[in-house]
Amino acid sequence: MGTNDKGSPIDDIGYLTRSEHRAPTLVALTVRPRSRSELWEMTGVSSSTLRRTLREFEDRNWIRRNEYQYEATPLGAYIASAVAELIERVEIERKVRDVWQWLPDEESGFTIEMCADAVVTVAEADNPYAPLNRFLTLIRDTHQFRFVGTDIAIFEPYRNELCQQVIDGMQTEIIHPPKIAKYYRSNYPELFAKTLASDNLTMWLHDELPPYGIGIFDNRIAICGHDSDSVTVRVLVDTDSEDAREWAESKHEFYRHQTPTVPLETVEK
């Protein structure tokens, strides 16, 4: 009986994924030939388990033996590439599985692939300010900051430090609704006036902004997802992905070019 008769493609996929060492072993053999002892050290499984795995791979023509080393065949490399991509996709999906509803949708041009190397910080019951703390870390490490969205006011717990960063020289551009400027001017007039007097802050007012926030820092961009019902930040996704930065820059420019600069002294209290 040939190997093609041994079950279905799903059976082969199941075989590779039932034990955590199998897919990494096959992927490793696509990089370069390796000895059994090297694979044993890499996987941490027993020698008998590894021996069975290599035999199964040989039966499927995924690998071949060359003296004391094993290497992937073109068939094995083909399978390994697909499995590695699947594992990467699942790893990315697991990062954002529980918070995707608060992030931009694909119609905005944002894609899940942009989260591949992202830091995903989620508000938990025992640490509700985790996303805000991460945001503050990013603010402290940047010299230029741009923000577009409806929820800059959600960073209320850290308004003093945010404003102090601006006063101390952080060049800042913010696009947000007029009601936010009115809120700060009414409730924190001295802090508002001092921040403006630094000449490091430019604000544009826009009534129709996305239901999430986009922060652009020196070396990273961040997406802030918030729950409109509880008015709390649920997740902060930050990344140095070039694709994500290009997307964030385009969003900022889109709203910036729609919005005339409004003298903030004209904003009603």
Give the pLDDT means over successive 10-residue stretches in the chain (269 positions). Answer: 66 89 94 94 92 95 94 96 90 87 90 89 89 92 91 72 91 86 82 88 85 94 82 87 95 84 51
Task: Supply the CATH classification number for the domain 98-266.
Answer: 3.30.870.10
What pLDDT is stored for residue 70 in this prediction?
96
**Reported pTM:** 0.76
The full set of domain ranges for the chain reads 3-92, 98-266
What pLDDT is stored for residue 1 in this prediction?
42
What pLDDT is stored for residue 6 in this prediction?
66
What pLDDT is stored for residue 152 in this prediction?
64
What pLDDT is stored for residue 188 in this prediction?
84
3-92: CATH class: mainly alpha
What pLDDT is stored for residue 178 in this prediction?
80
Contact 121, 148 (CB under 8 A): no
